[in-house]
């Protein structure tokens, strides 16, 4: 039953093809698109059930084309992947449903729906893949769709925003290729599990682990660019303003989290396996006091996170339009997600580390839901009034109380008011930061706590400003003449209810997040899951038949066939190596 | 750089390394040149030059990938199609990175095409190719 792993991917592919084919039947295309998102959410729910929630649950793998790891491309669904997929499916479902109602029908007909499912496909692949180069390919699938979303309306601002988004990301992709190529040359494999195994025992494979720190910095830069962390945040405001608002909900809610996911997966599951024994960073003379590349990740990501919280918060306070304010806010909020990840990297013990990663995941889920709701509410406001400018809005609370209530729930969750999901997100991040300060009570250790505090205050300031400017006061002419679509309002209220439910029934959410953090940190289980056969015996088998080269196993072949022998020794193993289910 | 072949038997490896070192130097120079050119182009004000820059930077990454796989004297294992055809086996790059580069070329093609289309659209909107004259 490991085929369930590829179910979300297949659903997304079919949805892309179907919506593309139905371009001449707009009504049917819209219905297909929504149905595609519903089936996608169902397949993700089934996957999450099989992987985490069911009594006999366990992670699963799918070896594409029947090629066993590390030769083929492995898809891995563990608790971390399942958690991120649930996040993507939830935001995706609401995004497409609101888009159908709020966007101009002619605009939808062109290519909105195929692009949306293409983006979902890229996100899904990135969450599931167990192969480093394949991760790059899924990134590009996701990016290609998001470039077009940013350029969607084709005006001067939109093309400019698309260029500001495209050029850094192309350079980022090139930098990621540098990291991947270097890691392949250093470690000799592209399969993440195989890489973790080799890094854990470098002597047996004749590899030098010191270059891994620098090479991991290459991929970290790209992931930070995707996540929009300072100093790679400059593309965020113009891109989010240019994209259609339901697509911006996806960009802010889901595609940013792909960068965070990739940092967690690669650093904690793969690179952390490398033992460094106090190597020094070349040029700086700074010694790595820890024993793995996590010691490098910790301070670097912490600086990025603190700067993001400051830049995003300060930037959001002075904005004149709601969508721009939300774009800056999402820079700051991603800083809140990166902060516990950075503290997890420098955490002394496994339990602290797990709690910190779980805090990051809970915050990521909360931010995806809350920011998704806020962007979608803004889409409804713009659809009804034709503007998102705070000076032209006012009195929305009187005009449409339910819409305002939904926006308020999203806002309060972002601020962190109990019993909404955001309260637990903020609470856990503060707990991690406070615990960090408690273990090492120095001025430097207080920085994360202070940054989180300042960020929280700034959040309250800009949320209050939006609320007072847009929803209180006397009705402006734009608001007075607005007709608010009740279906959209119903959808937004339902998403607000989800946020409330995630806060009220927080225990299962937290257990899911803890299981995901556990999966991210448990390297041994990940390696055994993907490739149970020990690599050393394969090596000893010497030079096998070269026939493995002629396979159609895909673009990313995770190992040199000549070096590891051919797949013949593995051929008698079942194609799906997962024993977990 | 040539980690992979090191894991094979020592006697087979020695001559290969000689080939690899010479070619690697050429590849290193090519990578450096391409990245330098790409950086220069990306920082231009002319939008068309920027598009050239993103095309060149991905090609630079592709050449780098080839260099990372290592270029060695081929044998019948790395070029299995020549087993039945006999004859000389040429100097060859790692087949894995060839597959990676092939994929990266296709992606770069799509991205560059999109960038060109966007360039035309931006020109229509702004009536200038100078990005500093954008609003």
Q: Which residues numbered 111-150 in A keep a CB inside 8 Å of some CB on B?
A: 133, 137, 140, 144, 147-148
- pLDDT band of A286, cuts 50, 70, 90: low
> Is the CB of residue A235 less than 8 Å away from at least one CB of chain B?
no
State the smallest CA–CA distance between residue A20 and chain B in angstroms. Answer: 18
Query: Which residues in chain B have their CB less than 8 angstroms from residue A195's CB?
Result: none
Yes or no: say if A68 and A191 are a contact pair by the CB < 8 Å rule: no
State residue B88's pLDDT score.
Answer: 74
Mean pLDDT estimate for chain A: 87
Whether the Cβ atoms of residue A256 and residue A219 lie closer than 8 Å to each other: no
Query: What confidence tens digit (pLDDT) does each residue in A127-150 have?
Result: 999 999 999 999 999 999 999 999
Helices of type H across A505-564? 506-521, 523-530, 535-540, 561-564
Round to whole Å and give the CA distance between A285 and B114. Answer: 43
Q: Please indicate whether residue A138 or residue B92 has the higher confidence score (pLDDT).
A: A138
Number of Cβ within a 10 Å radius of residue A573: 16
Contact A221, A172 (CB under 8 A): yes
Residue ranges of the domains in chain A?
A: 2-276+290-564
Task: Inform me whether the pLDDT recorded for A571 exceeds 80.
Answer: no
Asked if A570 and A74 touch (Cβ cutoff 8 Å), the reply is no
B53 neighbourhood in chain A, CB within 8 Å: 167
Query: Which residues of chain A make contact with B1, given a CB cutoff of 8 A?
Result: 185
Q: Which of A450, A428, A427, A448 is nearest to A436 (CA)?
A: A448
Subunit contact A184:B126, Cβ cutoff 8 A: no
Cβ-Cβ pairs closer than 8 A, A with B, add up to 145
Sign, Cα dihedral of A76, A77, A80, A81: positive
Given an 8 Å threshold on Cβ–Cβ distance, is B134 in contact with A160? yes
- Which helix or strand (DSSP H or E) is residue A248 part of? helix A245-250
Please tell me if residue A539 touches chain B, with a CB cutoff of 8 Å: yes
Nearest CA in chain B to A138: B107
Question: Which of A72, A177, A547, A552 is the best mutation test for B, with the most CBs of B within 10 A?
Answer: A177
Flag if B96 and A560 touch (Cβ within 8 Å): yes
- CA dist A84 and A90 (Å) reads 10
CA distance B22 to chain A (A): 17
Alpha carbons A195 and A559: distance in angstroms, whole number = 10
CB atoms within 10 A of CB A430: 20
Q: Per the CB < 8 Å rule, is B50 touching A163?
A: yes
pLDDT band of residue B12 (cuts 50, 70, 90) is: very low
| Secondary structure letter of residue A244 according to DSSP | -
Say if CB A559 and CB A71 are below 8 A apart.
yes
Q: Is the minimum CB–CB distance between A549 and chain B shorter than 8 Å?
A: yes
Which of A166, A174, A535, A550 has the most B C-beta neighbours within 10 Å, making it the best mutation to test the interface with B?
Answer: A174
Instruction: List CB contacts (< 8 A) between A547 and chain B.
Output: 80
Buried b (16+ CB within 10 A) or exposed e, B99-122: bbbebbeebbeebbebbeebbebb
Provide Rg for chain A, Cα atoms. 23
**B135: chain A residues, CB-CB within 8 Å:** 156-157, 160
**Cβ contacts of A566 within 8 Å, gap of 6 or more:** A544, A545, A546, A547, A548
Q: What value, to the nearest 5°, has the Cα angle with vertex A557 and ends A551 and A558?
A: 140
Quick check: B4 and A560 CB within 8 A?
yes
Interchain CB distance below 8 Å, B77 and A562: yes
What is the distance between the alpha carbons of residues A96 and A332, in angstroms, rounded to a whole number?
Answer: 26
**Contact between A517 and A354 (Cβ < 8 Å):** yes
Position B8 scores a pLDDT of 42
Cβ contact B1:A211 at 8 Å = no
Q: Which residue of B has its CA nearest to A204?
A: B7
User: What is B3-133's CATH topology?
Assistant: Helix Hairpins (1.10.287)
The residue extents of the domains of chain B are 3-133
pLDDT tens-digit map of A347-406: 877 889 999 999 999 999 999 999 999 999 999 999 999 999 998 998 899 889 999 999
Q: How confident is the model at residue A1 (pLDDT cuts 50, 70, 90)?
A: low
Q: What is the pLDDT of residue B19?
A: 60
Alpha helix (H) residue ranges in B43-94: 47-69, 82-85
- Residue B99 pLDDT: 92
Residues A137, B103: C-beta atoms closer than 8 Å: yes
Q: Which of A281, A288, A236, A293 is nearest to A259 (CA)?
A: A236
B17 vs A556: which has the higher pLDDT: B17
Nearest CB to A177; choose among B61, B96, B102: B61
Q: Which of B9, B11, B104 to mutate to test the interface with A (most CBs of A within 10 A)?
A: B104
**Cross-strand pairs, A60:** A77
Q: If you average pLDDT over residues A478-491, what whole number do you get? A: 91
Residue of A nearest to B80 (CA): A546
CB of A266 closer than 8 Å to CB of A185: no
Q: Which residue of B has its CA nearest to A132?
A: B100
Per-residue confidence band for B15, with pLDDT thresholds at 50, 70 and 90: very low
Residue pair A234/A300 in contact (Cβ under 8 Å)? The answer is no
**CA distances (Å), origin B78, targets A429, B17, B90:** 51, 15, 10
Q: How far apart are CA A10 and CA A39, in angstroms?
A: 11
Q: Which of B46, B59, B68 is the best substitution to test chain A (most A C-beta atoms within 10 A)?
A: B68
User: Given this model, what pLDDT does residue A278 score?
Assistant: 54
**Does B122 sit within 8 Å of A160, measured CB to CB?**
yes
Distance of CA A232 to the CA centre of its chain: 16
Tally of CB atoms within 10 A around B9: 9
CA–CA distance, A124 with A72 (Å, rounded to integer): 19
Its ipTM equals 0.85
Contact A437, A515 (CB under 8 A): no
pLDDT of residue B108: 94
């Amino acid at each position: 039953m490991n085929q369930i792993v590829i179910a979300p991917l297949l659903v997304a592919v079919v949805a892309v093809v179907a919506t593309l084919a139905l371009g001449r039947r707009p009504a049917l295309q819209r219905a297909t698109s929504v149905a595609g998102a519903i089936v996608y959410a169902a397949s993700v729910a089934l996957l999450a059930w099989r992987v985490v929630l069911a009594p006999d649950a366990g992670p699963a793998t799918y070896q594409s084309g029947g090629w066993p790891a590390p030769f083929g491309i492995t898809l891995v669904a563990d608790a971390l992947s399942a958690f991120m997929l649930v996040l993507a499916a939830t935001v995706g479902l609401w995004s497409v449903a609101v888009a159908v109602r709020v966007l101009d029908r002619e605009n939808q007909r062109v290519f909105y729906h195929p692009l949306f499912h293409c983006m979902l496909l890229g996100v899904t692949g990135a969450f599931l893949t167990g192969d480093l180069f394949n991760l790059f390919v899924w990134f590009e699938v996701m990016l290609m769709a998001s470039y077009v979303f940013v350029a969607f309306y084709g005006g001067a601002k939109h093309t400019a925003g698309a260029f500001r988004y495209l050029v850094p990301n192309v350079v980022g992709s090139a930098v990621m290729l540098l990291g991947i190529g270097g890691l392949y040359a250093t470690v000799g494999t592209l399969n993440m599990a195989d890489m973790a195994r080799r890094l854990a025992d470098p002597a047996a494979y004749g590899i030098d682990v010191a270059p891994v720190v620098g090479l991991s910095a290459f991929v970290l830069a790209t992931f930070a660019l995707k996540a929009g962390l300072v100093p790679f945040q400059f593309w965020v405001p113009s891109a989010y303003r240019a994209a259609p608002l339901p697509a911006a909900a996806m960009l802010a809610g889901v595609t940013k989290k792909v960068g965070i996911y990739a940092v967690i997966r690669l650093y904690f599951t793969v690179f952390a396996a490398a033992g460094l024994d106090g190597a020094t960073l070349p040029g700086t003379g700074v010694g790595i006091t820890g024993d793995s590349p996590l010691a490098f990740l910790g301070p670097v990501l912490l600086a990025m996170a603190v700067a993001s919280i400051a830049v995003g918060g300060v930037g959001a306070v002075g904005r004149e339009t709601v969508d721009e304010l939300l774009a800056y806010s999402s820079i700051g909020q991603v800083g809140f997600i990166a902060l516990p990840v950075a503290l997890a990297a420098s955490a002394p013990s496994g339990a602290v580390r797990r709690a910190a990663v779980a805090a990051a995941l809970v915050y990521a889920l909360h931010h995806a839901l809350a920011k998704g709701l806020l962007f979608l509410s803004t889409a409804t406001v713009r659809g009804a009034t034709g503007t998102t400018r705070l000076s032209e809005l006012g009195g929305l609370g009187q005009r449409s109380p339910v819409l305002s209530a939904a926006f308020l729930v999203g806002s309060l969750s972002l601020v962190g008011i109990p019993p909404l999901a955001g309260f637990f997100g903020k609470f856990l991040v503060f707990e991690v930061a406070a615990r960090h300060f408690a273990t090492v009570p120095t001025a430097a250790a207080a920085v994360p706590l202070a940054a989180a505090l300042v960020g929280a205050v700034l959040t309250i300031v800009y949320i209050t400003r939006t609320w007072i400017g847009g929803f209180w006061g006397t009705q402006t002419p734009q608001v007075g003449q607005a007709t608010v679509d009740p279906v959209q309002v119903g959808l937004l209220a339902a998403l607000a209810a989800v946020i409330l439910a995630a806060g009220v029934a927080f225990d299962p959410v937290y257990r899911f997040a803890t299981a995901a953090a556990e999966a991210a940190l448990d390297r041994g289980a990940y390696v055994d899951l993907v490739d149970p056969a020990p690599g050393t015996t394969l090596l000893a088998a010497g030079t096998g038949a070269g026939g493995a080269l002629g396979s159609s196993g895909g673009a990313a072949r995770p190992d040199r066939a000549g070096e590891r022998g051919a797949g013949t020794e593995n051929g008698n193993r079942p194609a799906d190596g997962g024993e977990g289910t | 750089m040539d980690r992979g072949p090191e894991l094979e038997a020592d006697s087979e490896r020695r001559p290969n390394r000689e080939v690899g070192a010479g070619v690697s130097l050429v590849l290193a120079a090519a990578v450096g040149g391409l990245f330098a050119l790409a950086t220069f182009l990306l920082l231009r004000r002319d939008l068309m030059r920027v598009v050239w820059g993103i095309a060149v930077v991905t090609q630079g990454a592709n050449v780098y990938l080839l260099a990372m796989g290592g270029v060695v004297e081929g044998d019948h294992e790395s070029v299995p199609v020549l087993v039945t055809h006999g004859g000389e086996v040429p100097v060859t790059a790692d087949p894995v990175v060839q597959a990676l580069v092939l994929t990266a070329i296709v992606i770069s093609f799509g991205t560059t095409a999109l960038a060109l289309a966007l360039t035309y659209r931006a020109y229509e909107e702004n009536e200038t190719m100078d990005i500093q004259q954008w609003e």
